[in-house]
Amino acid sequence: MCGRYLLTSPVDLLRQLFRFMERPNLGPRYNIAPTQEVPIVRLSRAGDRPELIPELIMARWGLVPYWADDVKIGNRLINARAETIERTPAFREAYQRRRCLVPADGFYEWRKEGRQRQPLLIRRRDQAPFAFAGLWERWQQQGGQTLRSCTIVTCPANALVAEVHDRMPVILAPADHARWLDPAAGDGKALLRPCPAEWLEAVAVSPRVNSPANDDPECLAPPPSATEQRSLI
Q: Kindly report the backbone phi and psi dihedral angles of residue 167, in degrees, each rounded to the nearest multiple of 5, phi listed first.
A: -135, 160
Residue 181 near residue 43, CB atoms below 8 Å: yes
Residue 121 near residue 205, CB atoms below 8 Å: yes
Which residues on neighbouring strands pair with residue 151, listed in sequence order?
A: 135
Residue 7 near residue 104, CB atoms below 8 Å: yes
Judge whether 195 counts as a catalytic residue: no
Distance CA 229, CA 231 (A): 5
Of 201, 207, 209, the C-alpha closest to 223 is: 207
Of 116, 135, 167, the C-alpha closest to 3 is: 167
* Identified catalytic residue from 22, 83, 86, 109: 109
Judge whether 201 counts as a catalytic residue: no
Beta carbons within 10 angstroms of residue 105's beta carbon = 21
Q: Which residues are catalytic?
A: 2, 109
